[in-house]
Chains A and B, each alone.
Chain A
Amino acid sequence: MTARPAISSAVLEQAIAWKARLLSGAASADTLRECERWRNAQPSHEQAWQALEEAESGIAGLSTGERRLVSGTLEAMAQDRRVDLHRRRVIKSLMLAGLAAPALFAWREYNGSFGLPTDYATRVGQRSQVTLPDGSGLRLNTDSAVDVRLAAGERRILLRRGEIFVEAGGTHAAWQQPLTVQAGALRLTSADGAFLLHRRPHHDYLQVRAGRVDVQGAVQSMTAQAGECWRVEGARLVQETDTTFDATGWLDGALVAQQMPLERFVQELGRYRRGWLGCDADAAGLRVSGVFQLDDTDRALTALTRVLPVRLAWRSPYWVSVVPA
């Protein structure tokens, strides 16, 4: 084991307290920022933080499906309960907010006929995740819909609407062929990739987090590598250069902006919110930075008024404008 400088117990306790606070699932943007500030304040703070991350590294590498298996086993051991484990896991996942409908579909379809298209959908403001029978992980962002087709010789996901994050895990011997994701004329193929695909109003957006993804557009084709972002505008494939917005933030339940134009920010936040959310032209060019929780868009909007010279004009809960203060 390599020697490392000792971390003082006071710093360690602070790091632990921050970690426990951030994992609550209800940490505000302010809390996240304060934590960032704490980590940046001293090298020893960041060192303690990293040491905690390292201690949990066994968990970090697990996919969603694997986590479920592992936690199911450990909980069964603790309680020494041996009844209907799998069903208990499914019922448990039903209790996760926003997951009820897709999980129910999953339960029904996985035990029933294979090869039939299975629909997963989320409503506005909802997010969900499922593990497909082939071991692939599928996460749906707000207002999204997919068809999944798993049959002999075929692993295909059809993105009908919205945004998904796919982890193509060919973990089972019966599913060795690459996974295909289709959205309109766009066709993505990957054996081991983890990637995000979003059907936006004027283009499709692809971000590859890990592995490789073969992209076949209407006329062009290429291979996208980990870390790359691409836009598909009609028949053209264009590398995305916008860095003001982290498109994968929703996987952690957050809208992450860095000097993002307010108009874009409001448009993005509006995806998670019922009704109409607008931005006044006089405020459109302001820049937003920060981490905003997607589960409470009212709070995100209120947070906005604290960091920018803007206020909210509420005509109704479903009709809100961000206007100059």
Chain B
Amino acid sequence: MPSSRSADIALLYDQHHRWLVGWLKRRLNGGDEALDLTQDTFLKLLDRPQLLDEVREPRAWLVTVAQRLMINQARRRKLELAWREMLAQMPEPEVPSPEHQLSLLQVLDRLDAMLDGLNPKARAAYLLSRLDGLPYTDIAARLGVSVSSVEKYMVTAIRHCYVFRQSL
């Protein structure tokens, strides 16, 4: 990272760190969470210093990043809950080992993030096709739509996944 950028990040941190913690505290229940989230926000910047180039209004920008992280955390908590419930309902011999569970959770997280923001029917069609391996006729019956609608949903979903991948 060019030294000017790291100096910029340090400056940003000095000037806005406490303000961001305060802003987040007012919106979250616990102070710890606000501190963690502030930390994560600056970490993201350290990871990808080129993000600095898009900073015009530092505080507005920091809030946007922090909010995005907040939503992501909520999504991930919900996902972990669903995953734990899924595991709890499996017959014991089928339950994957702890390491395997963790790697699957990572796959889940990526997939879930990828499908985030996709319209619910397109998301459902995509999952039924790509994960359950169902033909469009079955998906159409399941979703109560025509086969040509299923194809349209799939077009939307495939495009969405591509765009997501490019944004990484």
Interface string of A100-140 (1 = CB under 8 A from B): 00000000001100100000000000000001011100000
Q: How far is the CB of B135 from chain A (nearest CB, A)?
A: 3
- A76 within 8 Å of B (CB atoms): yes
Q: Is B132 a contact partner of A16 (Cβ separation < 8 A)?
A: no
Complex contacts, A73 vs chain B, CB 8 Å: 79, 82-83, 86, 108
Q: Are B159 and A92 in contact (CB under 8 A)?
A: no
> Is B96 within 8 A of A55, CB to CB?
no
Q: List chain A residues, Cβ under 8 A from B161.
A: 52, 55-56
A86→B91 CA distance, assembly (Å): 9
Q: Which residues of A contact B123 (CB under 8 A)?
A: 78
**Nearest residue in A to B132 (C-beta to C-beta)?**
A71
* B137 engages A70 (CB within 8 Å): no
- A1 touching B131 by the CB < 8 A rule? no
Chain B residues with a Cβ closer than 8 Å to the other chain, count: 50
Given A62-B107, A73-B82, A76-B82, CB of A52 within 8 Å of CB of B135: no
Contact B108 A51 (CB under 8 A): no
- Residues of chain A lying within 8 A (CB to CB) of residue B147: 24
Give per-residue flags for A156-174: 1 if the beta carbon is below 8 A from chain B beta carbons, else 0: 0000000000000001111
Give the residue among B82, B127, B161 with the most A Cβ atoms within 10 A: B82
Beta-carbon contact of A133 and B127 below 8 Å: no
Chain B residues contacting A59 (CB-CB under 8 Å) are 111, 130-131
Say yes or no: B168 contacts A171, CB within 8 Å.
no
The docked-state distance in angstroms from the alpha carbon of A103 to that of B168 is 39
CB atoms of A92 and B132 under 8 A apart: yes
A24 to B148, CA, bound (A): 10
**4 closest residue pairs by CB, A with B:** A25-B135, A71-B131, A133-B93, A55-B165
